[in-house]
Chain A
Amino acid sequence: MSVRLAVETFAARTAARMSRLAGAGGGTTLPGKLLWKLDPGAIDALAAQLPEGTVVVSATNGKTTTTAMAAEILEPRLKLAWNRSGANLVSGVASTLLAQRDAELGLLEVDEGALPEIVRRLRPRVVLLGNLFRDQLDRYGELEHIAERWRAATEALPPDTVLVVNGDDPQVGDLARDRMNAIAYGIDDVRHARPTLQHAADSRYCVRCGRPYEFAAAYVGHLGEYHCPDCGHARPELQVRATAIELDGLEAASFTVETPEGSIRLRLPLPGLYNVYNALGAAALTQALGTPLEDIRAGLERFGAAFGRFERIAVGDKTLLILLIKNPAGANEVVHTLLEGGAPNLLLIALNDAIADGKDVSWIWDVDFEPLLGRAERLIAAGDRAAELGVRCVYGGLDEEALEVQPNIEVALDRGLELTPPGGELVVLPTYTAMLALQRIVTDRGLVKPYWERM
């Protein structure tokens, strides 16, 4: 390590310790921000010190869960520098690399917008790109622009970097088309295809000629088996596939993962097709690192949810089930999965509009909440935009008598728990900063450990 880097990392690590001592939180981005100010090139040097290199994961939806799955698979054999807290901008990546001094491999979840800069600096061994959905257009801009930036970033990758893509996403799958070192994964089980494309489906039009794709199967949003009847652009050949999928309500999904090195049958203790995609991504990624199939199976089978992503928390004799919602495609999958387990008759939805949630809340109208609204006996609308959410629910078919509007998330949570029968489960759907608020509340009450103590 150069003297300059040593001084900088010492200063930044001290800042992290002081942040925690001051009770300001996990120190997840502050030291990175400081390091970034001192020397933007420092993260390149820190990454270069990792003996096993780095891998990078990005997607609109599922990147935190996919990365956590990969960590579960890899951790028995490797010491990881993993940004578990979800701090996925350049500053968060820098902080993670700083904090893990004896790590062997960097496992990094990366924000879609930050991906180009981070892969340029880290020169990762493997880059996994999961999907692109419309998301917080006030922050990220249009889908096409993100896709263009991803294209430029992947074209500039070193030739020995393995590019792993979700072949079921037309925009993302196309990134691997002309690359030697590429792996495409996807689902092959038409029994689970949706009858129609959902309302908010993106990428319906051929990336080459603009004609509408024909979908032989659509699994999650626009993810599926597509081809263009005009120019023939179609889903790439899949190297890693999920077949024979059995969904077990809110509990689990069982499926076979077929790879060039053989097949495994596994039971993933998370529900929904979107988690099958997350698991496939983690499997393809870790296989590209040389992980044996048996380790992949074992890691996925013992996986527990990332915070707020289908996490269950015991509160006395009741349970909180927290499912993050942040954009139409992700929220639609949450709704669909909830329906698999039988629609809950009590629901708490929390809508905030901070920058990290998206200041523009119009996306709630593109979520297919309707099947939940018709059946809910009580719905608590919470968060800074609770009234707007209430309007959405009533116009979507919720009986106005069944609605309670309570902007304060803590008060809303207590009201929800009060209405939950003993032994029952309260389903909470928060946006990102509402989820962080919930995290603070349950941590302050001693129901879960702070996440920096769980690392």
Chain B
Amino acid sequence: MRIRIGHLYPDYLNIYADRGNIAVFGRRATLRGHELDVKAISIGDEVRPGEHDLLYIGGGQDREQALVAPDLVAKGPELEDAVAGGAALLAVCGGYQLLGRGYLGRHGDSMPGVGLFPHETVAGERRMIGDVLLEAELVPGERRTIAGFENHAGRTKLDSGAEPLGRVVAGFGNDGESGYEGVRVGRAIGTYLHGPLLPRNPWLADWLLSQALAHATGGEPPELEPLPDRLETLAHAVSAQRARDRGGRF
């Protein structure tokens, strides 16, 4: 099966190893006999309905984020259509913020967002930097951990009733106080956990691939053949321990 990925602004939003996440999709799809087709979506490009099975947007520095924000907002309705049509989506860090309703800066400046995610972000005094560990339950009854690294000044407040990606076991999370991290809207996921999020959390990569396959086939998300993941499990364990030892402290 061919899985079509749309990678939003790879030239601008690539600050933390976003291509690592794409590489994980590629390898894990190939090992299951699928073919991954990754296309860049740049400033001015149109997102046509049904064109992508999975959309990816990464993080950038403030300057790069400001450069793409107007274009992203203009693409908002197309992205909402894609997600409503069952495409999977992973938004990391800056991309996660931009897909919310907006970002309020410290000097009263504000940047409107896409409004695809039910949250708003307000700039905080100190950056929340460190290792982080979450517990998530994307499939009812299947509780899994997600280990990663966060580095953000923004405090993201989910609307009441919105579903977070996970509960913070160690680290700051969305705002350093709610005890939650990220957001989930159906097959769309947003998170502050950047960089090699998927290499050390291969189950999450597989969940997203499975959702993308469901979009591609029009059927239910398929079970993917398990992989040994020996190194990935080890990398996850080290990262999770780091979070327990030193995550979430100023």
Contact = CB atoms under 8 A, between A and B. Distances in A.
A101 interface: no
Interface stretch (A13-21, A152-160, A289-297, A386-394): A386-394
Interface string B199-223: 1100000000000000000000000
Interface string B134-155: 0000000000000001010000
Interface stretch (A333-341, A355-363, A412-420, A442-450): A355-363
A360 B231 contact: no
Interface stretch (B13-21, B102-110, B164-172): B13-21
Given A388-B196, A388-B200, A137 B16 contact: yes
A353 to B, nearest CB: 7
Contacts of A400: 231
Nearest to A390: B231
A392 B232 CA distance: 10
Interface residues of B, number: 35
Contacts of B234: 387, 390, 405
A362 B20 contact: yes
Interface stretch (B61-69, B71-79, B81-89, B176-184): B61-69
A391 B199 contact: yes
Nearest to A207: B63
B198 to A, nearest CB: 10
A395 B64 CA distance: 27
Nearest to A362: B195
A362 B238 contact: no
B131 interface: yes
Contacts of B232: 391
Contact of A144 (B63, B235, B238): B63
A387 B127 CA distance: 28
Contacts of B64: 205
Contacts of B15: 134, 137
A141 B195 contact: no
Given A137-B16, A199-B19, A359-B130, A385 B238 contact: yes
Contacts of B23: 365, 395-396
Given A199-B19, A205-B64, A388-B196, A405 B149 contact: no
Nearest to B202: A391
A360 B63 contact: no
Contact of A390 (B19, B27, B235, B237): B235
A159 to B, nearest CB: 31
A384 B246 CA distance: 15
Interface string B10-39: 010011110110011001000000000000
A366 B194 CA distance: 13
User: Which of B64, B200, B231: most chain A CB closer than 10 A?
Assistant: B231
A138 B151 contact: yes
A60 B96 CA distance: 29
Contact of B149 (A138, A143, A403): A138
B129 interface: yes
A405 B16 CA distance: 24
Contact of B63 (A141, A210, A362, A395): A210
Contacts of B101: none
Contacts of A403: 231
Interface residues of A, number: 35
A388 B17 contact: no
Interface string A402-432: 0101000000000000000000000000000
Contact of B151 (A137, A210, A361): A137
Contacts of B24: 395
B242 interface: yes
Contact of A366 (B19, B67, B231): B19
Contacts of A212: 11
B239 interface: yes
Contacts of B246: 359
A405 B233 CA distance: 13
A121 interface: no
A390 B61 CA distance: 28
B17 A363 contact: yes
B235 A391 contact: yes
A95 B184 CA distance: 52
Nearest to B129: A138
A356 B3 CA distance: 40
Nearest to B247: A359
A395 B199 CA distance: 9
Interface in A160-217: 199-200, 204-205, 210, 212
A359 B17 contact: no
A365 B22 CA distance: 11
A143 B17 CA distance: 16
A91 to B, nearest CB: 22
5 contacts: A144-B61, A363-B195, A387-B235, A395-B20, A403-B231
Given A210-B63, A361-B149, 6 more contacts: A142-B63, A353-B242, A365-B19, A366-B19, A392-B20, A395-B20
Interface of A: 134, 137-138, 141-144, 199-200, 204-205, 210, 212, 353, 359-366, 384-385, 387-388, 390-392, 394-396, 400, 403, 405
